[in-house]
Structure 1
Amino acid sequence: MIVFDLRCGTGHVFEAWFGSSAAYEEQRAGGLVECPMCGDRGVEKAVMAPNVGAKGNQRSAVPAPAPSETPSPEAIKAALAAMAAAQAKALETSQWVGAAFVDKARAMHLGDAPQAPIHGQATLADAKALVEEGVAIAPLPFPVVPPETRN
């Protein structure tokens, strides 16, 4: 696994895990990588700084920054990792329905199908239509790799 810091066209920076650099390139080229905050698919790798600790017998010449209300990048990454873990746990009890999501969610809403936790794919227009019809749906904060495309 490899982790990349990614940036969307609107400037959001987020972290994503991939099986390899080639897997990232394939998913990006296929339009499968999108910003979890705004859904933008114009995603590129962001500049990443390696986390290299100082030598144990040396002190930093730069004083530690004063505490502020802005969370550190490490705190943001930890929060995103916790959210990703929570999403993965929630999806364990949910069925992947892929492109049939809109039809299945609508059928459950209308009482034509039994209620069940599902997740899948929908266009923004289809998702808006479901919401306007009163169907209880919510976007997932992180992209989901369809089971049929996993190694």
Structure 2
Amino acid sequence: MIRYALVCDQDHEFEGWFGASGDFDDQKARGLLSCPVCESAEVRKQIMAPAVAGTKRNTPDLPPKARAVMMEALSKVRRHVEENFDNVGDAFAAEARAIHEGRSEDRGIYGQATPAEVKALVADGVPVAPLPPDPPKKTEVN
């Protein structure tokens, strides 16, 4: 796993964990990254000093058992959404807005939206949140 220090266009700082160095660029290009504070999709990497192995550690790695529990919880959230919400595909932004404005049936939905669509929804007070990613396949994990 690779940890990047990230920042959004509203200067909220957070970190992201990625399976490989190219995953950040891939997820950003696909519009899958957003700030956990304001949900802005305008996310970039901050300059970081490389992590150099040494005798002292400031922050311990997440224990394997805790990491497994966290990944299982995220998988359960994703499964619950996929099993109980309507997949509206690339009509997500329009349908989320219609539900918010009372023009469509109030229900849970999921789908895809561009970063610009998500930013507009958030600016207009439409509640949206990113769906947790699919867990990595065992064949893709180092």
**TM-score with structure 1 length normalisation?**
0.50
**Aligned partner (choices 94, 106, 111) of residue 97 of structure 2:** 106
Aligned positions, number: 103
Residue 84 of structure 1 aligns with which residue? 75
In structure 1, list runs of 5 or more residues that go unmatched.
Answer: 1-5, 16-27, 41-67, 145-151
- Percent identity reads 31
**Aligned partner (choices 102, 120, 130) of residue 129 of structure 1:** 120
Q: Distance in 2 between matches of 1:88 and 1:141?
A: 10
Q: Distance in 2 between matches of 1:136 and 1:36?
A: 14
Q: CA RMSD in A?
A: 3.9
Report the AA paired with residue 117 of structure 1.
G
Contact 1:37 1:141 in 2 (8 A): no
Q: In the superposition, relative to structure 1, how do residues 139 and 70 fare at CA in structure 2: closer, same or farther (>3 Å)? A: same
| Offset at residue 95 of structure 1 (A) | 0.6
Contact 1:102 1:126 in 2 (8 A): yes
Q: Distance in 2 between matches of 1:76 and 1:36?
A: 21
Contact 2:75 2:134 in 1 (8 A): no
The structure showing larger relative contact order (alpha-carbon pairs under 8 Å, at least 6 residues apart) is: 2
For residues 104-133 of structure 1, the C-alpha deviation after alignment (integer angstroms, 9 at most, x for no partner) is 111111111111110000111110100111
Q: In the superposition, relative to structure 1, how do residues 94 and 124 fare at CA in structure 2: closer, same or farther (>3 Å)? A: same
**TM-score with structure 2 length normalisation?**
0.53
| Offset at residue 138 of structure 1 (A) | 1.0
Q: Please say which structure displays the higher CA radius of gyration.
A: 1
User: What are the residue-to-residue correspondences of 1:25-40 with 2, within 5 Å?
Assistant: none
In structure 2, list runs of 5 or more residues that go unmatched.
Answer: 6-14, 20-25, 44-58, 136-142
Q: Distance in 2 between matches of 1:82 and 1:14?
A: 18
Residue 49 of structure 2 aligns with which residue? none
Q: Distance in 1 between matches of 2:92 and 2:117?
A: 10
Residue 64 of structure 2 aligns with which residue? 73
For residues 40-66 of structure 1, the C-alpha deviation after alignment (integer angstroms, 9 at most, x for no partner) is 8xxxxxxxxxxxxxxxxxxxxxxxxxx
Q: In the superposition, relative to structure 1, how do residues 74 and 84 fare at CA in structure 2: closer, same or farther (>3 Å)? A: same
Contact 1:102 1:122 in 2 (8 A): yes
Residue 119 of structure 1 aligns with which residue? 110
